[in-house]
Amino acid sequence: MTPRGALRQALRLDPGERAKERRGGRCPSRVPTIRAFVIIERHRPGAARLATRRRRLATSLIETPPVPTPSDPDLSALSPLANELATTIARVASDIALVIDRHGVISAVAEGAAVQAQGCSQWVGRRWVDTVSAGTRPKIQSLLDEVTRSGVVSRRREVSHPAQGGDELPVTWSAIRLGADGPVLAVGRDLRAVAAIQQRFVEAQQDMERHYWSRRQAENRYQLLFQVANDAVLVLDASSLVVVEANAATAELFGREGAELLHKPLTDNLPASVRAAVLELLVTARSTGRGGEMRVRGPGLPAALDIAATPFTVDGRRQLMLRARRDTSRTGAADGLALSRMAEFVETTPDAVVITDSAGGILMANPAFLRLARQTEEAQLRSRALPELLFDPTGAWAQLVAQVRSAGMVSNLAMDVGALDGSRQRVRASAALMTEGEQACLGFVLRPDHRLPEHLAGDDVLAGLLDQVGRVPLADLLVEVAHRAERQLIASALLRVAGQIDVAAEALGMTPEALALRMQRHGLTGLGYPGSPSGSAPSLN
């Protein structure tokens, strides 16, 4: 069909369509014109379409005008019943309802049972915005502005009202205007139950977070204390990689006693399967001046090892600290079992383990250290100086802290732990610098020296008794031997547990009362073990 024929067909309008167009309020002559433009647009060549597109603005002039929508219902007739509406709504559909005049002043208050004790009836005659807390006044003002402008609010506002007793009454409000010049009817819902649920939820969430972080701190504490007591630590000369110092834990991980490793290159004592990897780690740390770590495994090692190398300087000499521990990276139940074993070791080991900051201030310690320091709570130790806590009048512990800080580690050094009464206990101290965390720390292991004092260790239970054979009945000789042996065993048990009678009694399989009687029988109470009837400190001198 040609454009001219299409135009003729478009201009033909059915009489029924004309009548329909008249009822719709549109000019019937304009509709064929639109059709004509569209048909011509489709049938004209490309150059003509460009000219036609310029007429698009004109087509907007003949679009159908919008049909007006019915207006919102007029609620002016309900204005005289505003108070009755408020009372009814507060009774069956909400907790509180207010009638507010055009100035924002409350003229009536209808209270439900939930808010009757909150003194809301005293709001009559006050501006609504003055009944809420200062922080929520803008919400009430916004609600009033919206209801004045549109007659109804689009969303609720949650505000807080000061209530009797100093509490706050949280309420969510909506409102509607009863006619153009009528009052505003505000309907509120008490949110105290919701707020209580939200508060319980927040508290439960905070408890969970506290429990989580408390558990994480406990895990970190057990892990650090376990590492202090069990990590193999070696100090190497940076240039030759010769072992300068090694602690006792190296024997278990490397299969050689620390004394066998001293003054020899470390790589000469490593299995061939891991020698090259460890050498590369040490050389890299030496050349870059930065610490590094790696995991090695292979024949000749008891397990996969995590090894960390840290460079440091002692009196102008460059050295490397090598720390090795068993691979503890596990997941799930295996990780829980490993942590349980760490915790059991830390809680039950007789060795006192303590971690301090670089100045010697205590950060954490195990129960054995609490017994050694004669303290009951770990919190009492935090931030206290180690030399002060161990009664160091000679300055030996202060020198040890300085030596570990500068030299990197100290092994099996004989030290004395003092007490308020002047008694002293001998321990073997090993310590090492810990540089893996955010701040440098010092880890100490204080192992009680279980060697008895000379006047007890030198006692021979058979001394002088062999000469009595033939003159004293065997039964009497055995009684004397048992008496001497019992005395030495009780003294040794007390020494191992720093004189704690309850712990020693449990180790010996008797009650503390029975042990106290035996100590009195053997003349050991006068030596002043803590917890004994004398209440003095241990001393076996």
Q: Domain segments of the chain: what residues?
A: 3-62, 76-190, 231-326, 346-448, 454-527
446 neighbors 431 (Cβ within 8 angstroms):
no
Residue 171 in tokens: 């309420």
Residue 12 in tokens: 């033909």
Determine the residue type at 176: I
How far is it, in rounded angstroms, from Cα 71 to Cα 368?
84
What is the predicted pLDDT for the residue at 361?
92
The three-state secondary structure class of 265 is strand
Q: CA dihedral defined by 199, 201, 205, 206, rounded to 10 degrees? A: 20
Residue 92 in tokens: 């069956």
Place of tokens 């201009």: 11
How far is it, in rounded angstroms, from Cα 213 to Cα 209?
6
Please give the sequence-ordered ranges of beta strands (E in DSSP) within 382-455, or none if there are none: 409-418, 424-434, 441-448
**pTM attached to this predicted model:** 0.54
How far is it, in rounded angstroms, from Cα 256 to Cα 479?
45
Average pLDDT by stretches of 10, the chain with 541 residues: 48 48 47 44 51 44 38 71 84 84 89 81 89 90 88 85 83 87 88 88 92 86 86 89 86 74 85 87 91 84 83 85 77 63 86 91 91 86 88 88 88 84 81 80 85 51 68 82 84 76 86 87 62 37 31
In degrees and rounded to multiples of 5, residue 259 shows phi and psi of: -65, -30
Beta strands 184-190 and 305-314, pairing class:
unpaired
**Is CATH 3.30.450.20 the right assignment for the domain spanning 231-326?**
yes
How far is it, in rounded angstroms, from Cα 486 to Cα 465?
16
* Cα–Cα nearest to 360, from 381, 345, 343, 380: 381
How far is it, in rounded angstroms, from Cα 169 to Cα 171?
6
How far is it, in rounded angstroms, from Cα 375 to Cα 381?
8
CATH topology of domain 454-527: Arc Repressor Mutant, subunit A (1.10.10)
How far is it, in rounded angstroms, from Cα 462 to Cα 480?
9
Determine the residue type at 209: E
How far is it, in rounded angstroms, from Cα 390 to Cα 375?
11
* Cα–Cα nearest to 425, from 451, 445, 400: 451
The CB density around residue 317, as the number of other CB atoms within 10 Å, is 11
Q: 501-508 vs 512-521: helix axis angle to the nearest 10?
A: 100
What is the predicted pLDDT for the residue at 147?
87
Beta-sheet strand order (sheet of 424-434): 362-365, 352-357, 441-448, 424-434, 409-418
Say yes or no: do domains 76-190 and 231-326 share a fold: yes
How far is it, in rounded angstroms, from Cα 270 to Cα 279?
10
Q: What is the DSSP letter of 326?
A: E
Domain 76-190 class, CATH top level: alpha beta
CATH number of 346-448: 3.30.450.20
